[in-house]
Amino acid sequence: MKKTVFLLIFSVGAIWMLSAQQSNETAKKELRNEVKRSENYLYGQATADTKEDAVKFSKKDLECRINEELLEHYDWQFAKTIQGKDVEYYVEMIDLRQGSKYYVIAYIKKESLKAIFYSDKMPEIKLIDKKVTPQVEEKSQQTMVMEMPTQQSKTIMEAPTLQGDLLTQIVTAASLDEIQTILISNKRRGKVVYGTMDKLFQPEEAYFIVYNIGEIVAILDKEYNNTRRDLISGKIYGKEILNNNQILWFQLFNN
């Protein structure tokens, strides 16, 4: 009688364990389907002979999906790092003609992605006193002084259209990275909007940052009679400068 009872208990336990395993497998597959169908997740997938390789390759595929997601967040393209926390994995053994392999999905919630910019601080402000040139009585000497200004005074003389502190910061920035930091910081304060040419709706109200391979070519003033003045050099350009260069536009508010 005791033996019969023992077998009965064992059978019930085995059935419960099998049921729990089946329930767990069902839950895993439901999670897999949710990850692949929901817009709340990004995922990468891969198949390999070992679990380690499958995890590595699926993570690489996930990185590709995150790069595609950058196109939906223009600001992120200026970030130093895109940080993704809490990456998870779905692992399954699958049978193929070549034998059993590991199938892995690496996935992350979109809300777990965070863009880390070069600096969250205010742009550094540098003030340089105006250089006072001694008065020269002789006309020839005075002319010589005017014809050989410093590089800084030359920039100010050739770009008289500068208006407002923010525009001055942008035009006198040392690099494209510095300009991007200024734009990002001031967009949060509602002082500026910017974007690529495919998102430009009022070209006559926009300034153009013209650059090539990360180097600034010109910063163009608002359009006037189909021409624009370079706020750095003072030169006048038509639309030809837009060819073979990349353009980032910006508009200023309350500036």
Q: What is the pLDDT of residues 136-173, one digit of tens each?
A: 544 444 433 333 334 433 333 333 344 458 899 999 99
CB proximity list for 70: less than 8 A, separation 6 or greater = 76, 77, 82
Q: In the chain, pLDDT over 70 holds for what percent of residues?
A: 69
Look at residue 66 and tell me if it is in a domain: yes
Domain of residue 106: give its range: 36-117
pLDDT at res. 209: 95
Domain boundary among 83, 117, 151: 117
Whether the predicted pLDDT of 126 surpasses 80: no
DSSP string over 131-177:
PPPPP-SSHHHHHHHHHS--HHHHHHHH-TT--SHHHHHHHT-SSHH
Domain boundary among 60, 94, 117: 117
pLDDT at res. 157: 35
Q: Specify which residues 216 forms β-bridges with.
A: 211
CB proximity list for 92: less than 8 A, separation 6 or greater = 28, 32, 102, 103, 104
Q: What CATH number is given to the structural domain containing 69?
A: 3.10.28.20
Q: How confident is the model at residue 64 (pLDDT cuts 50, 70, 90)?
A: confident
Prediction pTM value: 0.41
Number of domains in the chain: 2
Domain boundary among 100, 117, 134: 117
Whether the predicted pLDDT of 122 surpasses 60: no
Residues 189 and 108 grouped into a single domain: no
Q: How confident is the model at residue 206 (pLDDT cuts 50, 70, 90)?
A: very high
Residues 175 and 237 grouped into a single domain: yes
Structure tokens at 145: 């002084």
Look at residue 19 and tell me if it is in a domain: no
Residues 40 and 103 grouped into a single domain: yes
Q: How confident is the model at residue 26 (pLDDT cuts 50, 70, 90)?
A: confident
Distance in angstroms (rounded) separating the CA atoms of residues 223 and 205:
8
Look at residue 1 and tell me if it is in a domain: no
Look at residue 2 and tell me if it is in a domain: no
Look at residue 24 and tell me if it is in a domain: no
Look at residue 231 and tell me if it is in a domain: yes
Residues 181 and 248 grouped into a single domain: yes
Residues 244 and 174 grouped into a single domain: yes
The pair phi, psi for residue 194, each rounded to 5°, is -155, 170
Look at residue 198 and tell me if it is in a domain: yes
Residue 27 parent element (H or E): helix 2-37
Distance in angstroms (rounded) separating the CA atoms of residues 46 and 89:
11
